[in-house]
């Protein structure tokens, strides 16, 4: 992965983490926290969606949407453990 690919990967993670923090109740984790949540969400979606035969299409928009859904799943799990 070159520098351009890494930059796009981080940008997708940042946007997805920000979107997830806006959609899930409660405050975000800040810039770095949202980036981490978005990147981990992308990994969750990258594993979960093919296992369920779900495809949101290619391109950067599909990557942002799937990473945001994965980040939302991660935030819901984190908030459930935080309350317990």
Dump pLDDT digits (tens) for 11-53.
888 899 899 988 887 666 788 888 888 899 988 988 999 999 9
Task: Find where tokens 């981490």 sit.
Answer: 36
Structure token pair of residue 13: 């993670």
* Residue 83 to residue 27: CA distance in whole angstroms: 15
Place of tokens 């984190």: 78
This prediction's pTM: 0.85
**Stretch 60-69: mean pLDDT:** 91
């Amino acid at each position: 992965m070159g520098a351009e690919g890494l930059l796009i990967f981080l940008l997708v993670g940042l946007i997805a983490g920000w979107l997830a923090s806006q959609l899930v109740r409660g405050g975000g984790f800040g810039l770095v926290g949202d980036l981490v949540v978005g990147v981990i969400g992308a990994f969750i979606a990258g594993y979960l969606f093919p296992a369920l035969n779900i495809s949101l299409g290619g391109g950067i928009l599909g990557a942002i949407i799937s990473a945001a859904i994965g980040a939302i799943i991660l935030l819901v799990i984190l908030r459930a453990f935080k309350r317990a």
